[in-house]
Amino acid sequence: MDGAVPLFRMEGISKRYGGVRALEKAELSVTPGGIHAILGENGAGKSTLIKVMAGVVAPDEGRMMLDGTEVSFASPAAANQAGIVCIFQELSLVPELSVADNIVISDPPKRFGMIDRKAQRR
């Protein structure tokens, strides 16, 4: 999709934990209709980048753009409201729940005030 305008963009994202540099000016562009992968060695910052995108942690530097507007997410719920939902590798956030329950744990589909299992399976 050459020339496609990014739907979501992360520019110059840096994050430190004490003296450890987890991210240094990381970049990511997500275009509509594309398939995207974040690859790298252990310790390359993949999980940290996703956590910044999902509002789990705040970046020390950089900015995120959604539909051309600068955004920042104070929480995963704020990212979710903007349409950004991340499914982390550790699917069993709550081991007693099913994979489907863990995926929709922050905002399960509801019908008549109850969790809609049929909608959840879709």
Q: What is the pLDDT of residues 33-62, one digit of tens each?
A: 888 889 999 989 999 999 999 998 999 999
Token pair recorded at residue 10: 């992360």
Region 65-79: mean pLDDT is 92
Residue 93 pLDDT exceeds 80: no
Going from N- to C-terminal start, the domains of the chain cover 1-86, 89-122
**DSSP summary character for residue 56:** S
Which conformational region is residue 79 in: left (phi greater than 0), alpha (psi within -120 to 50 degrees), or beta?
A: alpha
Give the pLDDT confidence score for residue 105 in this predicted structure: 66
d(CA 33, CA 46): 22
Residue 90 pLDDT exceeds 70: no
Cα separation of the two ends of the chain: 28
**DSSP summary character for residue 78:** H
Q: What letters, b where the CB count within 10 A reaches 16 and e where it falls short, cover 14-37? A: bbeeeeeebbeebebeebeeeeee
Superfamily of domain 1-86: P-loop containing nucleotide triphosphate hydrolases (3.40.50.300)
Residues near 72 by Cβ (< 8 Å), separated by ≥ 6? 58, 63, 64
Region 17-37: mean pLDDT is 92
Residue 74 φ then ψ, to 5°: -80, -10
Highest mean pLDDT among 55-59, 90-94, 108-112, 113-117: 55-59
Q: Look at 3-12, 23-32, 112-121 and tell me which has the smallest mean pLDDT.
A: 112-121
The pTM is what? 0.73
Residue 99 pLDDT exceeds 90: no
Mean pLDDT across the chain, nearest whole number?
85
Token pair recorded at residue 122: 């879709």
Give the pLDDT confidence score for residue 107 in this predicted structure: 67
Q: Quick one: which of 72, 76, 70 has its CA closest to 55?
A: 76
